[in-house]
């Protein structure tokens, strides 16, 4: 069992605290309410629209599920420009981005204000939009991937289940650990306002990577014998580690490529069918390295060169 290292402390001076998602409704097979929010969102082909930024790891996990569950013809997709503007995410021309096809919006904020004219929080991706009710179903990626995992099963040929009942407790435990110490841990390091907050986050990140390296030296996936939700929640952070978090977020004790088991594991997931096409390193680097407090010149580095060949036989687990 993986034990937590240091839980996130919102009270700590200078620490980054992630805001909670504002929309927490659920798409269900028959429209009955899900674990949170209200009902009235039945799974129907053509009704829902997913908006992502290819830069964002939280949005990335929902795009992975869209591809894994073969929902491309069921849920439409929108992709914003990789660099946020002063007004937030925008639908602007860039290779791999898309003009908005639902509201003909210029900014993602238009979706939030259409859903709630009095909305006052951050305009985050991903969002899952209901074209029938003209509102946001959810802007919480952890919920969206579970909707995609099962709610649309009668509308897709994929029967893959990445959250099997027998493994749910262990998956939830791993998810909690990974969220605090890696998914959000790198942000706590990169957005820290004091030396102590940064150092605490830095230690969490690398203690977690060390624990996961040890775990994956003995097994192919985080939980069970098959890939699960726990793996797809970790992967978007790992794929961004060397090009972004190592340098820009000062998580620079060791690159991911220096962890043999984690590097093998990431390559394994990358070459899972339909996953590689969800990774856009140009969007990732353009988004993170845009002109900002952390990168005042706005210069986007050309490296590092990320080479992810398929695993050879001796690297795989049976």
Indicate yes or no: pTM above 0.85: yes
47 is annotated as contributing to ligand binding: no
**Same domain membership, residue 170 and residue 100:** no
Report yes or no on 265 lying in a domain: yes
Q: Could you list the residue range(s) of the whole structural domain that residue 265 is in? A: 165-272
Using CA atoms, how far residue 119 sits from 66, 114, 182, in Å, is: 27, 9, 30
Supply the pLDDT for residue 315.
76
58 is annotated as contributing to ligand binding: no
- Measured CA to CA, the distance from residue 126 to residue 60 in angstroms comes to 8
Domain end point (choices 160, 177, 196): 160
Can you give the CATH number for the domain in which 95 is found?
A: 3.40.30.10
Using CA atoms, how far residue 262 sits from 8, 200, 259, in Å, is: 24, 22, 5
Can you give the CATH number for the domain in which 257 is found?
A: 1.20.1050.10
- Measured CA to CA, the distance from residue 246 to residue 137 in angstroms comes to 34
Domain end point (choices 272, 291, 311): 272
Report yes or no on 290 lying in a domain: no
257 is annotated as contributing to ligand binding: no
293: which 2 tokens? Answer: 């407090």
**Same domain membership, residue 45 and residue 137:** yes
**Same domain membership, residue 227 and residue 131:** no
Supply the pLDDT for residue 11.
41
Catalytic residue among 56, 112, 162, 246: 56
Supply the pLDDT for residue 13.
63
**Same domain membership, residue 144 and residue 209:** no
Catalytic residue among 65, 112, 162, 187: 187
124 is annotated as contributing to ligand binding: yes
Locus of tokens 């990335």 = 60
Domain end point (choices 255, 272, 289): 272
Q: Is 112 considered catalytic here?
A: no
How many domains is the chain built from?
A: 2
Supply the pLDDT for residue 2.
53
The parts of the chain modelled with pLDDT lower than 70 are 1-13, 16, 18, 313-314, 316-318
125 is annotated as contributing to ligand binding: yes
**Same domain membership, residue 99 and residue 127:** yes
């Amino acid at each position: 069992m993986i034990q937590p290292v240091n839980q996130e402390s919102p009270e700590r001076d200078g620490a980054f605290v992630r805001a909670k998602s504002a929309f927490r409704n659920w798409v269900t097979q028959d429209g009955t309410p899900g674990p949170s929010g209200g009902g009235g969102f039945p799974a129907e082909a053509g009704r829902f629209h997913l908006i992502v930024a290819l830069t964002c790891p939280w949005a990335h996990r929902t795009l992975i599920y869209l591809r894994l569950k073969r929902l491309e013809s069921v849920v439409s997709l929108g992709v914003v420009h990789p660099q946020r503007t002063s007004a937030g995410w925008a639908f602007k021309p860039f290779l791999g981005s898309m003009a908005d096809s639902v509201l003909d919006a210029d900014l993602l904020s238009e979706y939030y204000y259409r859903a709630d004219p009095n909305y006052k929080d951050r305009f985050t991706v991903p969002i899952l939009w209901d074209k029938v009710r003209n509102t946001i179903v959810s802007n919480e990626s952890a919920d969206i991937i579970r909707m995609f995992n099962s709610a649309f099963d009668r509308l897709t040929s994929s029967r893959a289940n990445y959250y099997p009942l027998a493994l749910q407790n262990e998956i939830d435990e791993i998810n909690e650990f990974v969220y605090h110490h890696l998914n959000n841990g790198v942000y706590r390091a990169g957005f820290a306002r004091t030396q102590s907050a940064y150092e605490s986050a830095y230690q969490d990140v690398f203690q977690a990577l060390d624990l996961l390296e040890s775990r994956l030296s003995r097994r192919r996936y985080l939980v069970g014998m098959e890939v699960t939700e726990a793996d797809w929640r970790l992967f978007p952070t790992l794929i961004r580690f060397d090009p972004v978090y190592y340098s820009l977020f000062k998580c620079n004790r060791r690159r991911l490529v220096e962890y043999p088991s984690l590097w093998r594991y990431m390559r394994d997931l990358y070459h899972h069918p339909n996953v590689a096409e969800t990774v856009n390193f140009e969007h990732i680097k353009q988004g993170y390295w845009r002109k900002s407090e952390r990168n005042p010149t706005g210069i986007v580095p050309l490296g590092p060169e990320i080479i992810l060949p398929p695993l050879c036989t001796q690297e795989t687990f049976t």
